[in-house]
Amino acid sequence: MASTGKQTGSRVGTRRIVFLDRDGVINRKPGDSFVRSWQDFQFLPRVAEAIRMLNEADFRVVVITNQRGISLDLYSHDQLAAIHSRMCEELARAGAHVDGIYYCPHPPGVCECRKPGVALFQQAINDFPGTDVSSSIVVGDSARDLQAAARLGCRRVLIGDSGRSIAASLAAAGITLDYSAASLLDAVTRFILRL
């Protein structure tokens, strides 16, 4: 079985998960699409506020991210863990937290954990017993994210400027969106917290 990476917290008790993609939802994508160190990581505006609001509304917040830069030897598992540790520290300073971080280090086509595969989502669901999958939400900025959401039966939220073209390609594949938003905060305040 292909190996995957996981970092989880210990929070228990809630039944809904908001699954967040990382690059393009939590942080800006760098020019080459790889965050190789903390110096490359830049939070998108008001992300910590949005995550804090989800925490306060008793959603679990879980990050699911493809990180094939590891398979390309651009950074290591340890370097990625250091980036995620700093990300969590910065969120904590703003009164926010994520309950788990799951990542796929593989190139395309060799595993089921790389989105649009759903193995990492299933692992998170297993790690948080009692999760109501049908009322959980996947928030992403790519077709891969929303294809995984459709396979799981989760609600689907698209973030970012390329929403129209992605929505059109998803519609052609028979996948509808529940919401399209400019930012994570927009998605949280105008859609997720109203569910």
CATH number at 98 reads 3.40.50.1000
pLDDT tens for 53-63 read: 999 999 999 99
Is the Cα torsion angle 154, 80, 47, 52 positive or negative in sign? positive
* pLDDT at residue 9, as a whole number: 46
**Of these residues, 21, 99, 141, 145, which one is catalytic?**
21
Q: What is the pLDDT of residue 5?
A: 52
**pLDDT at 2 (0 to 100):** 36
- The pLDDT assigned to 46 comes to 98
Model confidence, pTM: 0.92
Distance (Å, whole) CA 17 – CA 124: 9
Residue 6, pLDDT > 70, answer no
pLDDT, tens only, 162-187: 667 888 889 988 999 999 999 999 99
User: According to the model, what pLDDT value does residue 192 have?
Assistant: 98
Report percent pLDDT > 70 for the chain.
92
Residues 29, 63: Cα–Cα separation, whole Å: 15
Between 40 and 4, the more confident residue is 40
Count of structural domains within the chain: 1
What CA–CA distance (Å, rounded) separates 146 from 138? Answer: 7
For residues 24 and 161, which has the higher predicted lDDT (pLDDT)?
A: 24
pLDDT surpassing 50 at residue 10: no
Known catalytic membership, residue 21: yes
Do strands 5-8 and 100-104 pair parallel, antiparallel, or not at all (unpaired)?
A: antiparallel
78 is catalytic: no
pLDDT at 165: 84
Pick the more confident residue, 12 or 72. Answer: 72
Average pLDDT, integer, range 109-136: 97
User: Which of the following is catalytic: 23, 99, 141, 145?
Assistant: 23
Which range is most confident: 6-10, 104-108, 165-169?
A: 104-108
Distance CA 44, CA 103 (A): 20
Which structural domain range is residue 152 located in? 5-194
Q: What is the mean pLDDT of residues 117-142?
A: 97
